[in-house]
Amino acid sequence: MGQLQDQMKATLLLRGFRPNTCESYLRCVKVFVRHYGKSPREMGKVEVQEYLLHLLKERGVKPGTFNVHAASLKFLYDCTMGRPEEVAGIRWMKVRTPLPVILTGEEVERLLKALGSLKMRAIVMIAYGAGLRVSEVCHLQVQDIDSKRMVIRVRDGKGGRDRYTMLPQRVLETLRAYWKQARLVGPNLFPGMLSGTTLTRNAVSLALRIAAKKARIRKRVTPHGLRHAFATELLEQGTHLRTLQVLLGHASIRSTVRYTHVSPALIRRTKSPVDRLQKVPLPKATPRGAIRKTAA
* CA-to-CA dists, residue 25 to 70, 94, 205, angstroms: 9, 19, 22
- Which residue of the set 119, 133, 139, 228 is catalytic? 133
Question: What totals of helices (H) and strands (E) does the chain contain, helices first?
Answer: 14, 3
- Which residue of the set 69, 74, 121, 227 is catalytic? 227
Query: How many CB atoms are closer than 10 A to CB 290?
Result: 9
268 is an active site residue: no
133 is an active site residue: yes
Q: What would the pLDDT profile of 99-144 be if each residue is shown by its tens digit?
A: 777 888 899 999 999 998 999 999 999 999 999 999 999 999 999 9
10: amino acid identity, one letter:
A
Q: What is the pLDDT of residue 160?
A: 77
- Which residue of the set 9, 163, 224, 258 is catalytic? 224
* Cα distance between residue 269 and residue 262, in whole Å: 13
* CA-to-CA dists, residue 50 to 35, 43, 57, angstroms: 11, 11, 10
35 is an active site residue: no
* Domains, the chain, ordered by start: 3-86 (1.10.150.130), 105-269 (1.10.443.10)
* Cα distance between residue 24 and residue 157, in whole Å: 18
* Cα distance between residue 136 and residue 126, in whole Å: 10
Give the DSSP letter string of 94-107.
PPP-PPPP---HHH
Q: What is the pLDDT of residue 232?
A: 86
Query: How many CB atoms are closer than 10 A to CB 192?
Result: 13
* Cα distance between residue 236 and residue 243, in whole Å: 13
Distant-in-sequence, close-in-space partners of 261: CB < 8 Å, separation ≥ 6:
99
Query: How many CA atoms lie within 13 Å of 61's alpha carbon, on the beta-carbon side?
Result: 16
71: amino acid identity, one letter:
A
Q: What is the pLDDT of residue 40?
A: 93
- C-alpha 215: how far from chain center: 23
The overall pTM is greater than 0.85 = no
54 is an active site residue: no
Distant-in-sequence, close-in-space partners of 101: CB < 8 Å, separation ≥ 6:
219, 220, 225, 228
38 is an active site residue: no
158 is an active site residue: yes
Q: What is the pLDDT of residue 247?
A: 87
Q: Is the dihedral of CA 200, 202, 206, 211 positive or negative?
A: positive
Q: What is the pLDDT of residue 112?
A: 93
- Name which of 154, 114, 116 is nearest 137 in CA terms: 154
- Which residue of the set 25, 77, 178, 259 is catalytic? 259
* Cα distance between residue 189 and residue 199, in whole Å: 9
From first to last of the 296 residues of the chain, give the pLDDT tens digit: 678 999 999 999 999 888 888 999 999 999 999 999 999 999 999 999 999 999 999 899 999 999 999 999 999 999 999 999 999 989 989 887 777 778 888 999 999 999 989 999 999 999 999 999 999 999 999 999 999 999 999 988 777 788 999 999 999 999 999 999 998 888 999 998 888 889 998 999 999 999 999 999 999 999 988 988 898 888 888 888 888 888 888 888 887 877 766 666 666 666 667 666 667 676 776 666 555 555 55
- Which residue of the set 9, 158, 163, 201 is catalytic? 158
